Amino acid sequence: MYKCSKWITIFCIGFLLSGCWDQVESEERGYVIGVALDAIENQRLEDIEQVKEDSSLQNQNEGRFKATYQLVVTSALQSSGSSDGQGSGDAFLNLTSTGNTMFTITRDIAKQTSRAPYLEHIKVIIMSEELARKGYFSKLLDIFLRDHEMRRATKVLISKGEALELFQTKSKIEKLPVIYIDSISENTFKNAEMLPITTTGDVHAFLLSKKSFAIPTIFLDDQNVKVEGAAVFNSENQKMVGYLTKEETEGLNYIRGDVKGGVIEIVIDGQRMAVEIKEAKRKFHADLSNSDHVKVTVNIEAEGNVGETFEGLDLLNPKMISKIEKEVAKNIEKLAEDVITKTQEDYQADILGIGSYLHQDHYQTWNKIKKDWEQGEHIFSKSNIEVKAKVKVRNIGVNIESNK
């Protein structure tokens, strides 16, 4: 018994003193914080359906994709003590490689750096519009969804133009372009023209559901990064079919109940003013008496404050407040109706969430029509969707003496 206890004690001590067998010092890691995905320049990128039909194309187009990994240069971060956030050198390193699969590209990136790429801290994945339109969205994201080391909170965006260009921008606020982009994409509580953040976890759910979906878009505007609008993907083959403008995206957010904050500009008695939206909710109501011609009412209720007026308006007059509320409601209805028209007529893609509502609240009817909702008979596109908005102005603020 004594000998047994002795060996157990020796084993435990040895185990505890051995430390972590796969320990790697943080300074020795190559932290990848962003991935930009593009098609190779000056080379025709076949539609994914065409590649399926003609397998020989796969061999003829070696290296069709270009991926850029942004790594953190930790020494540049540590050496900087300047207040403007600029170090003695770039605090990031962009490494680019080409290939036919993300797996081979990732392995090839390892040839270019002394520190093995460490992918667990990827914050942003940006895919170019060209790849998304050709049907490579799910294919190229597969490795990020499949690998157990990848986090499901990584943000996903679609770029208008080359994704790599976004990784080359410099900001006076942030030292790392990816951190700059990551921070901008989180400002949805300030601006309803931005689609809420989409993560790899969301993308996985979209792809499994076989429904249409929308992803935030990003682009360079006079060398400044902008995140606004949305890219629309259809349910049939999960290809990108088009864009929503910033106004249409705002309308989409009202319909989906995703508005966390925003501004509606209106004109009252010839005077322009801004109403700050603080909260908005929506409810669907469906009339399914004729399942081939679904009628849906979208009831939107919003609350806000008078944010700005250029001229003196009698904001203490209840009639004036009522006038403002009706005008803001009218604007919200217009935004929502425009995006409904576009998704029904141009894209035939239910990104509004009406199919999900029918699935949840009218399951039996949904089972009868789901195959013909976006495809087949295209019931979604033929549906009558009406929008009714109500707005409540809660606060007129502390105003300067009016001219009344």
Q: What CA–CA distance (Å, rounded) separates 204 from 182? A: 20
Q: What CA–CA distance (Å, rounded) separates 403 from 367? A: 61
CATH number for the domain spanning 327: value is 3.30.300.210
Residue at 403: amino acid letter: N
In the chain, how many domains are there? 2
Q: What CA–CA distance (Å, rounded) separates 152 from 203? A: 9
132, 169 Cβ separation under 8 angstroms = no
Q: Choose between 322 and 8: higher pLDDT.
A: 322
Give the end of a domain, one of 244, 270, 299: 244
Which structural domain, as residue segments, surrounds residue 35? Answer: 27-40+62-76+89-244
What integer is the mean pLDDT of 221-227? 90
Q: What CA–CA distance (Å, rounded) separates 88 from 79? A: 7
Give the end of a domain, one of 204, 224, 244: 244
Query: Residue 30 has which token pair?
Result: 């190559």
DSSP symbols for 31-67 = EEEEEEEEEPTTS----HHHHHH-THHHHHTSS-EEE
Specify whether 240 is located in the same domain as 250. Answer: no
pTM: 0.86
Specify whether 319 is located in the same domain as 378. Answer: yes
Query: Residue 177 has which token pair?
Result: 């372009």
- Tens-place pLDDT, residues 231-258: 999 998 889 999 999 999 999 999 999 9
Query: Residue 135 has which token pair?
Result: 């049907």
335, 302 Cβ separation under 8 angstroms = no
Q: What CA–CA distance (Å, rounded) separates 268 from 313? A: 9
- Tens-place pLDDT, residues 141-184: 999 988 877 888 999 999 999 999 999 998 888 889 999 999 99
Specify whether 130 is located in the same domain as 219. Answer: yes
Helix (H, G, I), strand (E, B) or coil at 96: strand
Specify whether 223 is located in the same domain as 268. Answer: no
From the CB of residue 395, how many other CB atoms can be counted at a distance below 10 Å? 12
* 11 belongs to a structural domain: no
* 31 belongs to a structural domain: yes
Specify whether 112 is located in the same domain as 220. Answer: yes
Q: What CA–CA distance (Å, rounded) separates 330 from 334? A: 6
Q: What percent of the chain lies above the pLDDT cut of 70?
A: 84
Q: Cα–Cα distances in Å, from 68 out to 71, 89, 368?
A: 10, 20, 46
- Tens-place pLDDT, residues 178-218: 999 999 999 988 899 999 999 999 999 999 988 999 999 99
> Could you tell me how many helices (H) and strands (E) the chain has, helices first?
15, 13
Sequence-ordered list of residues with C-beta below 8 angstroms from that of 201, at least 6 positions apart, any chain: 152, 153
Query: Residue 175 has which token pair?
Result: 């030292």
Specify whether 228 is located in the same domain as 272. Answer: no
Q: Cα–Cα distances in Å, from 187 out to 197, 244, 261, 361?
A: 9, 18, 10, 32
Residue at 133: amino acid letter: R
Q: Cα–Cα distances in Å, from 321 out to 123, 275, 315, 392, 400?
A: 44, 11, 6, 9, 17
Sequence-ordered list of residues with C-beta below 8 angstroms from that of 46, at least 6 positions apart, any chain: 57, 61, 134
* 84 belongs to a structural domain: no
- How many CA atoms, within 13 angstroms, populate the side-chain half-sphere of residue 177? 27
Residue 387's nearest CA partner among 324, 307, 262, 301 is: 301
- Tens-place pLDDT, residues 44-80: 677 777 766 665 555 555 668 999 999 998 777 765 5
What average pLDDT does the structure give for the chain? 87
Q: What CA–CA distance (Å, rounded) separates 309 from 42? A: 52
In eight-state DSSP terms, residue 221 is E
